[in-house]
Structure 1
Amino acid sequence: MQSRVRQWAQTVKRDTVCLYLAARDPRTPWYAKALAASVVAYALSPIDLIPDFIPIIGFFDDILLVPLGLWIAMRMVPDDVIEDCRVQATQLTERPTSKTAALVILAIWMGAAAAIGWVIYEAIAS
């Protein structure tokens, strides 16, 4: 069981990098590039939308959302592009990261915190 989970995790990592490469490939349609870039940016972001320290739902994005997004986006990319990018992904030694996605997620959290603070302030003030 543990080896299957480890193999699945390796496949998800490889496919994330594969989709990263496919989003940059000129043979990929624009709509597939847009979805692929969004999924990859989220998957490679060092900050999660749902932090891992939150019990149960913290790992929800890692276990369900990222693989689901990868699956959908990879269905939109032509098969020959996926095959080429998988070969390239297995040869890469360093995993890319997305600092832009980290900033977007950080902005979402800051906006949510500001909105909650405003609601609390309004409740106390009235």
Structure 2
Amino acid sequence: MTGSFWWDLLIGIGIALVLMWVALVVALIVIRPRGAQLRESLRLLPDVVRLVRRLAADDTLPRGIRIRLWLLLAYLAIPIDPIPDFIPVLGYADDAILVVAVLRSVVRRAGLEAVRAHWPGTDDGFAVLSRLTGLERHAS
């Protein structure tokens, strides 16, 4: 393209990053929660953050799970996101999708009982969390 290897590499990486970002935005638009699901998930947010923190501090869980959970907490604390949080609905959807993915991996490795034991909210809240994230389908 430009004749310089480094410029071509930089342009190629830039194009790949833009394409990945566009694919992420499209995926979030397609799978974002609708109506009541969005309200339910927003009400659960404080309990989910406490759940992730409690699971990350549990020494009985395997180290790999705890590392994933601490990395998730760090990602959630960092103000820079692939999709800025000021964009309605989509801004928080990338965070929610990542939380769901990590919780599913925790359930696959540690079991649904570990997540249930650390749940700080009500039984109804846990039922909503299980339904929204599909945790029951991933329980061993």
* Cα drift, residue 54 of structure 1: 5.9
Counterpart-to-counterpart distance in 1, 2:96 and 2:80: 12
Counterpart in 2 of 1:79?
112
Q: Render the CA deviation track for 1:34-82: whole Å, top value 9, x for unaligned.
A: 1111112222x15132322468864442342333233323433343322
Number of equivalenced pairs: 88
Counterpart in 2 of 1:5?
38
Counterpart in 2 of 1:123?
none
Q: Percent identity?
A: 20
Contact 1:15 1:70 in 2 (8 A): no
Question: Does 1:61 pair with 2:67?
Answer: no
Contact 1:21 1:85 in 2 (8 A): yes
The two structures have a TM-score, normalised by structure 1, of: 0.51
Farther-moved stretch of structure 1 (46-55 vs 12-21)? 46-55
The two structures have a TM-score, normalised by structure 2, of: 0.47
Of 89, 97, 121, which residue of structure 2 is paired with 1:90? 121
Question: Does 1:48 pair with 2:54?
Answer: no
Give the letter aligned to residue 8 of structure 1: S
RMSD of Structure 2 on Structure 1 (CA) = 3.0
Counterpart in 2 of 1:37?
70
Indicate how the Cα distance of structure 1 residues 3 and 53 shifts in structure 2: closer, same or farther if over 3 A, else same.
Answer: closer
Give the letter aligned to residue 90 of structure 1: G
Counterpart-to-counterpart distance in 1, 2:71 and 2:37: 27
SS of residue in 1 equivalent to 2:60 = coil
Q: Render the CA deviation track for 1:91-121: whole Å, top value 9, x for unaligned.
A: 8xxxxxxxxxxxxxxxxxxxxxxxxxxxxxx
Farther-moved stretch of structure 1 (60-69 vs 32-41)? 60-69
Indicate how the Cα distance of structure 1 residues 49 and 4 shifts in structure 2: closer, same or farther if over 3 A, else same.
Answer: closer
SS of residue in 1 equivalent to 2:79 = coil
Gaps of 5+ in 2: 1-33, 123-140
Give the letter aligned to residue 58 of structure 2: D
